[in-house]
Amino acid sequence: MSEPHPHPLYGKHAATLDRALTAIRERAYWSAFNESPSPRVHGEDAAPRGKAAFEAYLDANFSLDQPGTTGWVGGEKSPFGVPLDVRYPRPDVDALLGAATAAMPAWRDAGPQTRAGVCLEILTRLSENVFELAHAVQFTSGQAFVMAFQAGGAHALDRALEALAYAYAEMTRIPASARWEKPAGKGEPLRMDKTWHVVPRGVGLVIGCNTFPTWNSYPGLFASLVTGNAVVVKPHPGAVLPLAVTVKYAREVLAEAGFDPNLVTLAAEAPSEGLASVLALRPEVRIVDFTGSTEYGDWLEANARQAAVYTEKAGVNTVVVDSTDDFAGMCNNIAFSLVLYSGQMCTTPQNILVPREGIATEGGHKSFDEVAEGIGAAVGKLTGDPARGVELTGAIVNEGVLERLERARGLGKVVLDSRAVVHPTFGDAVVRTPLILALDADGEQAYGNEWFGPISFLVSTDSTEHSLEVFRRTVGRRGALTAAVYSRDDKVLDDVERAALDVGVHLSANLTGGVFVNQSAAFSDFHGSGANAAANAALTDGAYVASRFRIVQSRRHS
Amino acid sequence: MSEPHPHPLYGKHAATLDRALTAIRERAYWSAFNESPSPRVHGEDAAPRGKAAFEAYLDANFSLDQPGTTGWVGGEKSPFGVPLDVRYPRPDVDALLGAATAAMPAWRDAGPQTRAGVCLEILTRLSENVFELAHAVQFTSGQAFVMAFQAGGAHALDRALEALAYAYAEMTRIPASARWEKPAGKGEPLRMDKTWHVVPRGVGLVIGCNTFPTWNSYPGLFASLVTGNAVVVKPHPGAVLPLAVTVKYAREVLAEAGFDPNLVTLAAEAPSEGLASVLALRPEVRIVDFTGSTEYGDWLEANARQAAVYTEKAGVNTVVVDSTDDFAGMCNNIAFSLVLYSGQMCTTPQNILVPREGIATEGGHKSFDEVAEGIGAAVGKLTGDPARGVELTGAIVNEGVLERLERARGLGKVVLDSRAVVHPTFGDAVVRTPLILALDADGEQAYGNEWFGPISFLVSTDSTEHSLEVFRRTVGRRGALTAAVYSRDDKVLDDVERAALDVGVHLSANLTGGVFVNQSAAFSDFHGSGANAAANAALTDGAYVASRFRIVQSRRHS
């Protein structure tokens, strides 16, 4: 079998791919997709065109022309109270998986370069329609517009490219072919010509989440696709549209490039139909990417045994407050991370551990209550003006978060109560500000579990040493995606870093400016580590991509 | 936490490591450890010193000075009928795992370079004692001396270095630290200093096999160790000594380098004590490497859920015979691969698919029976002289193989019967020549499963096309580690290669010279693919090493 010529799309995007390959080796700052929604970047018509495209989807069937459509399914409820009424194809699972499987051999045989070129073209197409994507993310997840544009658009595309680059590097770290020549004493050397083929594992299943339908799905989607697998995208029933739009453009580009569009299909369902479980157990499905609850992630890991399963689940993100040289900066930074998307990020801090005797600051000693007041006041300031506040908080993604917020209120002493806010533009939007509770370290039964949503705990400990014990125990048990420390003592910083290594959580130290613990930068920060219970993999590293394909060799005498 | 200085052993071995890193990128011919047992390579005293060292272990306690020894356990039976009577420490599992766990933090903090240097020093130490190792492999596995020296010594060390190189490349594909600087419009850029730490998963468990105690264990052992994990080595009760010797030298080097020798420990047991299962389910054990039966490999995959499990199991290695330009070369090559270690390699061909109407050759048409006779005669020639034959066949590893050989005899028409051979040196050695049976393709119930040992089937098919169907179906169902094709038709070669990609098995075409389907060369050929039921991973590729550690990040403002 001779090696294929790369598709022209490879040449079109080779420079971008090459830059991305450099970025993942250096992990300094780089970004391929501009995070600014400014018309100066995207042109005057991009925003209105995206809005119009979004609106055209509403109250209509979302046609995808994929096989096995047996009817239509919908029911997304916008956290902004906007009626959506989009109806998606309800798939016949046999037909969908059959088509996905049939599409793979030609995709496999096209080789890594062609696949990378086509995938980069899909990212480019999505980027050209990023406003459409941003509106879809905003009105399904409840993110405010700018965040939906950034996290749901530009940053999601950057993460996709990052995963794609790791996968490309992994596929090409060995040559496509080589001559092997072994000396044989005085005789003729043994000579063999060897070829190494990248073969896909099988169908990849991407199970999306409600809060970050694109950001959390893209790395798995593109890592699986570029390594030769077909991908079935199963969105959260509450956030179908962003992934339907994604699938639409992916299919469009695949077909244009001469490949079977069934390499990417959508598997939509109504709430509680259990389609993810049906798909995840099918023998054709050999890769599963999931973001969501610990309970369901654990179920997938235990039951989808025929597949490589990558899960991002829940954890107890923790901040250790020991001391600071910038008390206001610390309070503002923590407050911002609590307010952003009203704490509905998997990276939002939940437990803030503060010695009950208080902490040293540049302005002298601050008591526990003063620290609580400082953070509470900063949150209050960010959310005080509804018009500005809602651009940070967005809306509450679903009923589950509201119920949890009600249940949480009794868990401690209220430092700052959650407030309902009337959204100035969307009157039916469900907006809540953060709830902050204080409780003692012995209340681990409460703060030791994840309370997803605008809920945080200021936990009073005996000392920073005690905070570290709590940190090790709770994160060791439940995992975490993020951790932070505030200290002006290098020994404390080192001790917390060592503890973070032991429990396998990424650590941010002394964030007081424009970087926040709940934000990670593509091509530099890793998201999750795979080293604790909150996730069994990091997004976008070697381990995340290496098992999505296999190498099959052939050899013959030269 | 500041970066550590590398240990001087890193500098000592940096050139070798660098050459190995080049080799895994090129995958052309390279070898670090000389496969010749000649005194010109190793010095006059190496062989007698190794023999004496081996003999000194016999009828004695093998002292390892590891914690938690509760008594002594032994019972290896040499296939050569030589009394061994070595007794090994019986470990207390809690003490062993406790010590292994306690040893890890300092090993983690030493960093990739130091760990690579220390591991290379272990390989060097083993190489300096390779004759001792070869004797231990020979008299436990039943391999003939030269094979024990090569496969059990030099090639095992090459595979270890190959795995180590992949792991080192994986750990260092991202920098240890970087400055991140994000432009912020007209303001000062955001600047962060980021550090990435390699953290181990936990304790690695290596479960050895009876036939290749070192070759199959070394890649996992060194891949886990160099990535910061402690390793518990659980040998097959029939082949403890080679791994006890390995553990002894590993501990010696670790202690000399200033590390806790409990990073590598031995967990010996008597037959049927079930120690592997006890260890594999312990929460401390986060990596399992196993070579052996499909049944137990599947059990590990299903039950050792807390661990990353790498298994090499059984399969039905297949040869598709379509036509040849070198009939004698084909028969001799196939025959050699059946005779070598009397078919007790996981890579030995089992099913040889031949059209019942015969094949075209350079000497005209050959009937099915002529092909059978040709291979049978070539086997007969290789084994006709007992003194030369036993240097190829070695001895039969255990009772299980003998019993299987008896049961197999009734499965088809005997083309060549197995013979018992009296070993000229070791009168009590259990030596058997290969059994070759002919049967029709409809006898898939027999040849569709693995018959490990000197048992092969010549399967008559309707045509090469039919052979390909059988190949796809049997390998698709049961897996295979190797496949071969003989054809002078390029289209057939391409068709078989495509089928090999579909069922995920490495393919050798038209081997008629000094390369055999059951041999794979380190740094060039992959062993296993992970793409079929015979193994869930390939030895020594990116996927094999990438999940043995995690990256944990810390960041702070510059």
Question: How would DSSP label each residue in A485-501?
Answer: EE-S-HHHHHHHHHHHH
Chain A residues closer than 8 Å to B510 by CB: 556-557
B105 touches chain A (CB under 8 A): yes
The verdict on B249 and B323 lying in the same domain is no
3-state secondary structure of A67: coil
Cβ–Cβ < 8 Å for A354, A458: yes
Cβ–Cβ < 8 Å for A149, A41: no
- Tell me if B6 is assigned to some domain: no
- Tell me if A13 is assigned to some domain: no
What number of other Cβ atoms are within 10 A of residue B44's Cβ? 9
Task: Report the candidate in A163, A173, A265 with the shortest Cα–Cα distance to residue A223.
Answer: A163
Chain B residues closer than 8 Å to A501 by CB: 108, 197, 199, 552
CB-CB under 8 Å, B508 with A530: no
B267 touches chain A (CB under 8 A): no
Q: Which residues of chain A have pLDDT under 70?
A: 1-2
What average pLDDT does this structure show over B383-400?
97
Q: For residue B393, give the H/E element and its range.
A: helix B386-393
* Side chain identity at residue A5, one-letter code: H
Chain A residues closer than 8 Å to B1 by CB: 494, 497-498
Q: Is A85 exposed, middle or buried (0-12, 13-18, 19+ CB in 10 A)?
A: exposed
CB-CB under 8 Å, B546 with A543: yes
- Alpha carbon distances (Å) from B35 to A50, A313, B128, B356: 66, 49, 13, 41
**Closest chain B C-alpha to A363 CA, distance in angstroms:** 21
| Chain B nearest-CA residue for A507 | B554
Please report how the helices B241-256 and B218-226 are oriented relative to each other, as an axis angle in degrees rounded to 10.
Answer: 20
What residues have CB less than 8 Å from B29, skipping those under 6 apart?
A: A180, A181, A182, A183, B521, B523, B524
B106 touches chain A (CB under 8 A): no
The verdict on B329 and B270 lying in the same domain is no
A201 touches chain B (CB under 8 A): yes
| Distance, CA of A27 to CA of A21 (rounded, Å) | 10
Chain B residues closer than 8 Å to A196 by CB: 27, 526
The verdict on A361 and A226 lying in the same domain is no
Size of interface A-B (CB pairs under 8 A): 203
| Distance, CA of A324 to CA of A314 (rounded, Å) | 29
Backbone phi and psi for residue A508, each to the nearest 5 degrees, phi listed first: -115, 135
For A:501-530, CB contacts with B below 8 A are: 501-502, 504-515, 521, 524-526, 529-530
**Nearest-by-Cβ selection for B542 from A497, A500, A542:** A542
| Distance, CA of A39 to CA of A27 (rounded, Å) | 29
The verdict on B229 and B367 lying in the same domain is no
Chain B residues closer than 8 Å to A507 by CB: 552-555
Phi-psi group of A545: left, alpha or beta (phi > 0 → left; psi -120 to 50 → alpha; rest → beta): alpha
Q: For residue A182, give the H/E element and its range.
A: strand A177-182
Cβ–Cβ < 8 Å for B226, B116: yes
pLDDT per residue over A83-126, tens digit each?
999 999 999 999 999 999 999 999 999 999 999 999 999 999 99
Q: Which residues does residue A125 pair with via DSSP β-bridges, in sequence order? A: none
Chain B interface mutation, best of A180, A196, A333, highest count of B Cβ atoms under 10 Å = A180
What average pLDDT does this structure show over B268-272?
93
B556 touches chain A (CB under 8 A): yes
B420 touches chain A (CB under 8 A): no
CB-CB under 8 Å, A201 with B502: no
| Distance, CA of A390 to CA of A382 (rounded, Å) | 10
What residues have CB less than 8 Å from A423, skipping those under 6 apart?
A: A80, A386, A390, A395, A429, A431
| Chain A nearest-CA residue for B510 | A556
On the CB side of A408, CA atoms within 13 Å amount to 29
| Distance, CA of A521 to CA of A530 (rounded, Å) | 18
Task: Report the candidate in A84, A204, A209 with the shortest Cα–Cα distance to residue A152.
Answer: A209
| Chain A nearest-CA residue for B492 | A1
Q: The tokens of B277 are what? A: 């299962």
CB-CB under 8 Å, B506 with A24: no
- pLDDT over 70 for what percent of chain B? 99
- Tell me if B57 is assigned to some domain: yes
| Distance, CA of B272 to CA of B484 (rounded, Å) | 36
Chain A residues closer than 8 Å to B513 by CB: 190, 557
**Nearest-by-Cβ selection for A197 from B173, B501, B557:** B501
Domain count for chain A: 2
pLDDT the model gives residue A337: 98
CB-CB under 8 Å, B551 with A546: no
CB-CB under 8 Å, A530 with B180: no
CATH number (domain holding residue A466):
3.40.309.10
A283 touches chain B (CB under 8 A): no
pLDDT at B285 over 90: yes
Backbone phi and psi for residue B213, each to the nearest 5 degrees, phi listed first: -60, -35
| Chain A nearest-CA residue for B2 | A494
The verdict on A96 and A167 lying in the same domain is yes
- Tell me if A4 is assigned to some domain: no
CB-CB under 8 Å, A182 with B506: no
**SS3 labels along B424-477:** CCCCCCCEECCEEEEEEHHHHHHHCCCCCCCEEEEEEECCHHHHHHHHHHHHHH
**Nearest-by-Cβ selection for A27 from B178, B190, B556:** B178
Q: The tokens of B329 are what? A: 């070369």
Q: The tokens of B500 are what? A: 């090999």
pLDDT at B3 over 90: no
Chain A residues closer than 8 Å to B508 by CB: 554-556
CATH number (domain holding residue A219):
3.40.605.10
3-state secondary structure of A224: helix
CB-CB under 8 Å, A510 with B197: no
- Tell me if A530 is assigned to some domain: no
- Alpha carbon distances (Å) from A92 to A65, A69, A71, A366, B37: 13, 6, 9, 62, 63
CB-CB under 8 Å, B541 with A543: no
Cβ–Cβ < 8 Å for A241, A84: yes
- Tell me if A529 is assigned to some domain: no
pLDDT per residue over B178-208, tens digit each?
999 999 888 999 999 999 999 999 999 999 9
Containing structural domain, residue B434? 318-509
| Distance, CA of B136 to CA of B129 (rounded, Å) | 11
The verdict on A364 and A305 lying in the same domain is no
CB-CB under 8 Å, B190 with A531: no
pLDDT the model gives residue B185: 85
The verdict on A305 and A323 lying in the same domain is no
**Closest chain B C-alpha to A530 CA, distance in angstroms:** 7
Confidence of residue B408 (pLDDT cuts 50, 70, 90): very high
- By residue count, chain B amounts to 558
ipTM: 0.96
**Nearest-by-Cβ selection for A29 from B174, B181, B554:** B181
- Residue identified by tokens 């059988």 is B470
The verdict on A332 and A198 lying in the same domain is no
Chain A residues closer than 8 Å to B552 by CB: 500-501, 504-507, 529, 531
Query: Nearest-5° angle of CA A59, CA A65, CA A71?
Result: 55
For A:15-74, CB contacts with B below 8 A are: 24-29
Backbone phi and psi for residue A182, each to the nearest 5 degrees, phi listed first: -105, 125
B497 touches chain A (CB under 8 A): yes
| Distance, CA of A188 to CA of A197 (rounded, Å) | 28
- Tell me if A528 is assigned to some domain: no
The verdict on A270 and A322 lying in the same domain is no
| Chain B nearest-CA residue for A190 | B514
Q: Which residues does residue A527 pair with via DSSP β-bridges, in sequence order? A: A539
What average pLDDT does this structure show over B315-336?
98
The verdict on A340 and A243 lying in the same domain is no
Cβ–Cβ < 8 Å for A133, A47: no
* Side chain identity at residue B427, one-letter code: G
- Alpha carbon distances (Å) from A494 to A472, A528, B113: 14, 21, 22
To the nearest 10°, report the CA torsion of A233, A290, A199, B304: -150
| Distance, CA of B142 to CA of B131 (rounded, Å) | 15
- Tell me if B12 is assigned to some domain: no
CB-CB under 8 Å, A546 with B546: yes
Hey, which bits of A238-343 come out as E strands?
264-266, 285-291, 308-312, 318-321
The verdict on A267 and A300 lying in the same domain is yes
Q: Strand B507-509 and strand B364-366: pairing? A: unpaired
| Distance, CA of B400 to CA of B402 (rounded, Å) | 5
Chain B residues closer than 8 Å to A514 by CB: 184, 190
Confidence of residue B4 (pLDDT cuts 50, 70, 90): confident
- Alpha carbon distances (Å) from B179 to A329, A505, A517, B194: 22, 20, 17, 6
B301 touches chain A (CB under 8 A): yes
**SS3 labels along B190-244:** EEEEEEEEEEECCEEEEECCCCCCCCCCHHHHHHHHHCCCCEEEECCCCCCHHHH
Q: The tokens of B374 are what? A: 């040709």
The verdict on A276 and A323 lying in the same domain is no
Q: Which residues does residue A154 pair with via DSSP β-bridges, in sequence order? A: none
Chain B residues closer than 8 Å to A556 by CB: 493, 508-510
CB-CB under 8 Å, A547 with B182: no
| Chain B nearest-CA residue for A174 | B25
What number of other Cβ atoms are within 10 A of residue A4's Cβ? 12
Q: Residues of A270-297 as b/e, b for ≥16 C-beta within 10 angstroms? A: eeeeebbeebbebebbbbbbbbbbbebb
CB-CB under 8 Å, A531 with B550: yes
Q: Which residues does residue B161 pair with via DSSP β-bridges, in sequence order? A: none
Backbone phi and psi for residue B353, each to the nearest 5 degrees, phi listed first: -95, 120
**Nearest-by-Cβ selection for A184 from B179, B511, B514:** B514
